[in-house]
Amino acid sequence: MPVINRVAAFKDEIAAIRRELHQNPQTAYEETFASDMVAKKLTEWGIPFKRGLAVTGIVATIEGQKTDSGKAIGLRADMDALDMTEKSAQPWASKTPGKMHGCGHDGHTSILLSTAKYLQETRNFNGKVHLIFQPAEEGARGADRMIEDGLFRDFPMDQVYGLHNWPWLPLGRVEMRAGPLMANVDEFDILITGKGGHAAYPQGTVDPVIVGTQLISALQTIVSRANTPTDPLVVSVTNFNAGTGAFNVIGDTATVTGTVRSFSDDARQLAKKRIHEICAGIAATFGAVIEIKDYNFGLDATVNTPKETAFAAEIAAKVVGVENVRTDTELCMGGEWIVPAPETRLLHLHGARDKGRQKPA
């Protein structure tokens, strides 16, 4: 793998930034530590930037030695952490209880800062590069909010590129694919209301546990019997909560929550339609009330354009060797809240890293 000496020279500086970010994680729209760190470094390196997009978001701009090409691209990294407790025991482990950079966004931010430092020093290109430091990727629509706050109005760009660390790959390997790569991610929250009573007299109850188990079983038929097998779809019930805690009491209610993963709008709409129909049917069968409290169309699928994917593969091959670049990586049912926009192209790469993390949303 070829090494750019100048980048290697500030490796320790960037590693220190990453570890400091890791120690101070914050979640959606509260990423003040990361935002301040980014602003501090950009100021130190003489890179102009704008703060306040999506509350904590930052966009910096570096102009090349020439700009008469009229071209501009965006490079994007996310800054937010997850609501989870770190148990790594590393010296740079989270110092914030219940918060952790478990998805590697501290690494993403550090990578983009490293890129900013190098590009500002060399400026060996014709055009502009906009560096997008995005908050609230973990399901809180930070990308949408940056766009609403004028990202593409104030910083016009032709293409947007992003990457995601992927610790399951060998170190030094880069993978991508044209077309769909990461999935739509939707969520549902269902409330079952029955009729409670004493466990010794079940005939007088409408047991929400029984209703819930039948509902959960029926939901699995959406994938196995309603959806075409050639169009990937996953329906996962992740929480089923019921009961009073007493051994001899049947409760009144139960809740069922879960997630739907898909790539096509047809599969996405089918899953929503069938979940509503199944809830109505199970409710009628058992005499319960089943209410879908929330059905949220969340993350949209990451879809890469062929031209930009081929270009990224060509460049990656020059860096890590053609043998370490794969352009037909497997579809991922995880989701990524990226920064797409009309008339722009976004490429999402998988890049290896040597430390573990949580899977995508």
Mean pLDDT of the chain: 92
CATH number, domain at 178? 3.40.630.10
Co-location of 66 and 160 in the same domain: yes
Q: What is the pLDDT of residues 275-323, one digit of tens each?
A: 999 999 999 999 999 999 999 998 889 999 999 999 999 999 999 999 9
Mean pLDDT, rounded, for 211-238: 98
Is there a single domain that holds both residue 289 and residue 153?
no
Tell me which residue of 132, 139, 181, 167 sits closest to 331, measured CA to CA.
Answer: 181
Share of the chain above pLDDT 70, in %: 92
Domain count along the chain: 2
- Span 199-209, average pLDDT: 97
Whether residue 227 is found in the same domain as residue 320: no
Element (H, E) at 99: none
**Catalytic pick from 80, 138, 186, 300?**
80
- Do residues 294 and 328 share a domain? no
Domain membership flag for residue 361? no
Q: Is-catalytic flag, 308?
A: no
d(CA 93, CA 243): 37
DSSP state of 202: G
pLDDT band, residue 246 (cuts 50/70/90): very high
pLDDT on residue 331? 93
The pLDDT tens digits of the residues spanning 166-193 come to 988 999 999 999 999 999 999 999 999 9
Inside any domain, residue 360: no
Q: Dihedral (C-alpha) 340, 342, 345, 349: value to the nearest 10 degrees? A: 20
Range of the domain at 200: 184-298
**What digits encode the pLDDT tens for the residues 287-298?**
999 999 999 998
Give the CATH number for residue 214.
Answer: 3.30.70.360
Give me the pLDDT at residue 354, please.
45
- The alpha carbon of residue 18 and the mean position of all alpha carbons in its chain are separated, in whole angstroms, by 19
d(CA 133, CA 30): 13
Q: Say which residue the tokens 């660390």 belong to.
A: 165
To the nearest whole percent, how much of the chain has pLDDT over 90? 86
- Report d(CA 277, CA 254) in Å as an integer: 19
Check whether residue 44 and residue 141 sit in a common domain. yes
Are 144 and 130 part of one and the same domain? Answer: yes
**For residue 3, what pLDDT is reported?**
65
358 within some domain: no
Q: Is residue 359 part of a domain?
A: no
331 falls within a domain: yes
222 assigned to some structural domain? yes
pLDDT in the model for residue 5: 80
What is the model's pLDDT at position 6?
Answer: 86
> Does 193 share its domain with 168?
no
Query: Among this protein's residues, is 266 annotated catalytic?
Result: no
Choose, from 78, 86, 106, 137, the residue flagged as catalytic: 137
Spell out where 33-172 has E strands.
49-53, 57-63, 72-78, 128-134, 159-165
| 274 shares a domain with 244 | yes
In a domain, 356, yes or no: no
Residue 335: pLDDT above 90? no
pLDDT in tens, 97-121: 999 999 999 999 999 999 999 999 9
